[in-house]
């Protein structure tokens, strides 16, 4: 392995969010996932509207700007899920998430939807109601970890990312490191993402996420990637990806300081209210504590849509006034507390 030094960044960005797991019913059966449930199984859930509204309202009070809506993929294909939806008065997950996004905007927080692979009509329906969207590529390699996972076929995931580019949706993707792929696979995956961004210009960030084994899963005894492997993966991302694509790691899963020296420029969404439902054992760091740990590397808050897309106007009229109220002249998060009634009327 080799490490490529990166330029020293003037600051590292993050967003303040609420993490809303709308449902953990999923058609995929990933070998590493502790999130997925079957209908009727303990812990299976489809979040009720009033529960989501409470989280959104508390998020705004806490100064959060991002509502991260996550889902199991294509839950309608799982027997029993349709009845759960019907109990809430909805005929599809898309219909429900459109309602949740509208509600979030009305409350004053920007949606970011991550719902697995999607068709062009689905992406087009969600675009006006989302500041950004996302889908983890994970890997272009065909892996045992993705056996029995129709949604983890690399070509299908790349097609969703491609369609998002055609629609000019600011987009998040990423790699999951340590699930059976090798270094060459990581290079191929990063090159595929870079190529899509070079064509469409829509990839705002690429997450380099370390696998964390979960009890009760097929991969519970699988080794975690070493710090050295993660440093190398970050360095590869910094080398391969275009300069305007942020390289992100999750600060609740790995100490980010050494990785910043290798090319990390963003620490993702950090929540003061909600847990990381995908990795519930890993607590979010307190922002002040994180800043102390980073020392002379300043943290700078952003919105769920990156500044370059704010400046380009890659957002709809529906969320435009909210983005303008929350963002400063450079497209980053406006200093909390300086938003006023006049801003709200813009």
Q: Looking at 115-211, which runs of residues are DSSP E strands?
A: 132-134, 171-177, 203-210
pLDDT at 127: 98
Is beta strand 171-177 parallel, antiparallel or unpaired with respect to 132-134? parallel
pLDDT value of position 8 = 61
What string of DSSP letters covers 192-232? HHHHHHHHH--EEEEEEEE----TTSTTTTSPPPPHHHHHH
What pLDDT, on a 0 to 100 scale, did the predictor assign at position 337? 73
DSSP labels for 4-33?
---PPPS-EEEEEEEEEEEE-B-S---TT-
Structure tokens at 291: 């800043």
Q: How far is CA 26 from the centre of its chain?
A: 17
Instruction: Report DSSP state, residue 85.
Output: H
Closest CA to 220 of 37, 36, 30, 32: 32
Strand partners, 133: 113, 171
> To 5 degrees, how large is the angle CA 193–CA 128–CA 92?
90
**DSSP-assigned beta bridge partners for residue 66:** 17, 110
Specify the 3-state DSSP secondary structure of 80.
coil
Q: How far is Cα 224 from Cα 173, in angstroms, rounded to an integer?
A: 21
Partner residues linked to 132 by β-bridges: 112
Tokens found for residue 60: 């705004």
SS3 37: strand
Of 95, 110, 26, 63, nearest to 278 by C-alpha is 26
Identify the three-state secondary structure at position 315.
Answer: coil
pTM: 0.94
Assigned CATH for 12-335: 3.20.20.70
Going by C-alpha positions, the residue among 113, 114, 116, 309 that lies closest to residue 203 is 309
pLDDT in 10s for each residue of the chain, 346 residues = 444 444 467 899 999 999 999 999 999 999 999 999 999 999 999 999 999 999 999 999 999 999 999 999 999 999 999 999 999 999 999 999 999 999 999 999 999 999 999 999 999 999 999 999 999 999 999 999 999 999 999 999 999 999 999 999 999 999 999 999 999 999 999 999 999 999 999 999 999 999 999 999 999 999 999 999 999 999 999 999 999 999 999 999 999 999 999 999 999 999 999 999 999 999 999 999 999 999 999 999 999 999 999 999 999 999 999 999 999 999 999 987 776 544 444 4
- Tell me, what's the pLDDT at 2? 44
């Amino acid at each position: 392995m080799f490490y490529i030094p990166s330029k020293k960044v003037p600051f590292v960005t993050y967003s303040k969010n609420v993490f809303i797991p709308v449902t953990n019913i999923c058609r995929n059966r990933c070998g590493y996932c502790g999130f997925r449930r079957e209908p009727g199984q303990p812990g299976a859930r489809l979040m009720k509207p009033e529960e989501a509204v409470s989280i959104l309202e508390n998020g705004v009070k806490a100064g959060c700007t991002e509502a991260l809506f996550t889902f199991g993929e294509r839950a309608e294909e799982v027997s029993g899920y349709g009845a759960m939806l019907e109990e809430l008065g909805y005929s599809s997950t898309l219909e429900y998430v459109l309602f949740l996004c509208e509600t979030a905007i009305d409350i004053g927080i920007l949606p970011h939807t991550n719902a697995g692979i999607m068709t062009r009509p689905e992406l087009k329906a969600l675009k006006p109601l989302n500041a950004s969207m996302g889908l983890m590529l994970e890997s272009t390699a065909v892996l045992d970890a993705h056996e029995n996972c129709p949604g983890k076929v690399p070509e299908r995931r790349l097609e969703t990312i491609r369609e998002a580019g055609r629609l000019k949706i600011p987009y998040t993707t990423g790699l999951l490191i340590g699930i059976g792929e090798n270094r060459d696979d990581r290079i191929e995956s990063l090159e595929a993402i870079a190529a899509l961004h070079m064509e469409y210009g829509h990839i705002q960030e690429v997450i380099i996420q370390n696998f964390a084994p979960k009890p009760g899963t097929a991969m519970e005894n699988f080794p975690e990637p070493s710090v050295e492997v993660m440093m190398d993966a970050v360095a590869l991302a910094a080398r391969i990806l275009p300069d305007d694509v942020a390289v992100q790691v999750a600060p609740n899963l790995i100490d980010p300081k050494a990785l910043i020296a290798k090319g990390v420029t963003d620490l993702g969404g950090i929540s003061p209210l909600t847990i990381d439902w995908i990795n519930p054992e890993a607590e979010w760091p307190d922002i002040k504590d994180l800043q102390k740990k980073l020392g002379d590397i300043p943290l700078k808050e952003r919105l769920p849509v990156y500044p370059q897309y704010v400046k380009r106007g890659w957002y709809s009229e529906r969320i435009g006034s909210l983005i303008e109220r929350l963002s400063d002249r450079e497209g980053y998060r406006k200093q909390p507390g300086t938003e006023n009634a006049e801003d709200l009327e813009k």
